[in-house]
Structure 1
Amino acid sequence: MTSKQYNSVWFREPRKQAGSSPGRSREEIVAAAMELLDDEGLAGLSMRKLGAKLGAGATSLYWYVAHKDELLELVYDEIWGEMIAPDPEEVGWRDAASVMAHSMRQVILRHRWAADLIGRLPALGPNALMISDQTRKTFKLAGFTGTDIDYANATLTAFVFGMTIPEVAWDTAMAGYEYDGDNLRQTVAKAAAGYPDLMEAINAANYENPRVMREVCFDFGLVSVLDGLERRLVT
């Protein structure tokens, strides 16, 4: 039995622009793909549409990427390049981790299509590796050692993904609907009838500012995660 080798756009050198090339750069192609994705989502991205946007035939794009999945690897790495990972030696490990987590959430919300690529594509590009390296340094500076550095890193990113991906799904499902806080409260209250604790929470919830609630909820969870990680350092 032979093992299947994993192929990635990052495992080969990009083709250099030459006289026989289509005259486009990888950066131009990625930028155009990002625009298409932001406008139409993953379902709206095709090599044909991308070629039309660039004024080139779809086949000419294959000079730079072997197939659509390679293109997705490239755009996926671009979002990692938009994340902020401060130097923990300058701001302290907790502030560095907090800024990175909030930045990661905002980038995913800004590029909703990225939520469908998390866990589907490996983060092997230079931007993703830079963020990963910086967060490892952050938790190493905090006092974690060995594989605990990676566990702490994974815990933080899992929290961000776990909080943000459902938020993207909700925003996507509600796209095109006019938000009505009173109507939503009444609908949820009807579904939760008979559960007094839930009804108490529904009555206390601020349905007029769901985005504010999400921000507060995310920050509450993030502080709790960092508190838990810090607690492990002193036990």
Structure 2
Amino acid sequence: MPRPALTRDQIVSTAVELLDEDGLEGLNMRALGQRLNSAATAVYWHVKNKDGLVALAGDRVWDEIRLPDVDAVGWRAAATAMATDLHGVFTRHPWLVQALAAHLFHGEAKARHDDHSLAVYEAAGFTGAEADRAAAAVFTYVLGNASGASATAALSRRIRREGGDPEEVFAATLKEAAEVASRFPRLRSRVDAMSTAAVTYAEGPEDTFAFGLDALLDGLTARLPG
């Protein structure tokens, strides 16, 4: 019995799974074909190359971001919800943070998100380029905040490929970092106040993202006309 024909939806869904597990470096047509139980050449009927596949996968996960009704909840609540969902997408799919530095993303889901984001800041009172800058400032903040988790995920994969244990490497690195930090008074006070075992590599206070987002939206609110 012949195998059922592949669909683009199957290919993109499987690519997202592969990217979540193995990162950008683990995505190739051969590995994807193996997961799909199909020849790699069959994938090319739907996707031209790896860059095109990453773009499709990126647009697929962008669709996970909810688009609140700004008239019902107000612009600030909508902005907070969208930024929080975007941060969730970046942390669930850390490869996307890396991909944004090397790929030009476009697609219906991202365009829908970007259009709604502009509507949120226009509802706040920003117009034209000011709305663009407000939306870009929040997006850039979310992306930067998620970069640590993305880097940790990529580093963990590399350590495992090289036969190491990420937890052991991170613990050793944290110990070295604490020794350096102890030479500086403000950092030393924070090192003394926390247990090394309770902190993960490159981790900040739990509410860092929410605190920074709230402060950023405070700043945008202060810039509103009138």
Please confirm whether the aligned pair reaches a TM-score higher than 0.5, indicating the same fold: yes
Query: 1:147-182 CA deviation, whole Å, 9 max, x = no partner?
Result: 111000000000000111123213443564337999
Amino acid paired to 1:113 = W
* Runs of 5+ unmatched residues, structure 1: 1-21
Stretch moving more, 29-38 or 49-58: 49-58
Q: 1-side partners of 2:167 and 2:52: how far apart?
A: 37
Are the counterparts in 1 of residues 23 and 154 from structure 2 also a CA contact under 8 Å? no
Pairing 1:4-83 to 2, within 5 Å after superposition: 23-83=5-65
CA distance in 2, matches of 1:206, 1:128: 41
Query: 2:130 aligns to what?
Result: 148
Percent of pairs identical after alignment?
A: 35
Give the match for residue 127 of structure 1. 109
Cα separation, 2, equivalents of 1:203 and 1:128: 44
Count of aligned positions? 214
In the TM superposition, what is the alpha-carbon distance from 1:205 to its structure 2 partner? 4.5
Tell whether the 8 Å contact from 1:76 to 1:114 is kept in structure 2 after alignment: yes
CA distance in 1, matches of 2:219, 2:168: 36
Residues 194/84 of structure 1: CA separation in 2 closer, same or farther (3 Å cut): same
Tell me if the contact between 1:152 and 1:229 (Cα under 8 Å) persists in the aligned partners.
Answer: yes
* Helix, strand or coil at the partner of 2:210: helix
The residue number in structure 1 matching 2:180 is: 191
Match of 2:218 among 227, 230, 233: 227
Write the distance in 2 (CA, Å) between the matches of 1:181 and 1:49.
Answer: 29
Unpaired runs of 5+ residues, structure 2, are 158-164
Alignment of 1:201-220 (within 5 A): 201-205=190-194, 208=198, 213-220=204-211
RMSD of aligned residue pairs (Cα, Å): 2.5
1:196 is displaced (CA, Å) by: 1.0
CA contact (8 A) 2:118 2:131 kept: yes
Under a length normalisation based on structure 2, what TM-score does the superposition of the two structures give?
0.84
2:69 counterpart of 1:87: yes
Task: Supply the AA of the counterpart residue of 1:26.
Answer: R
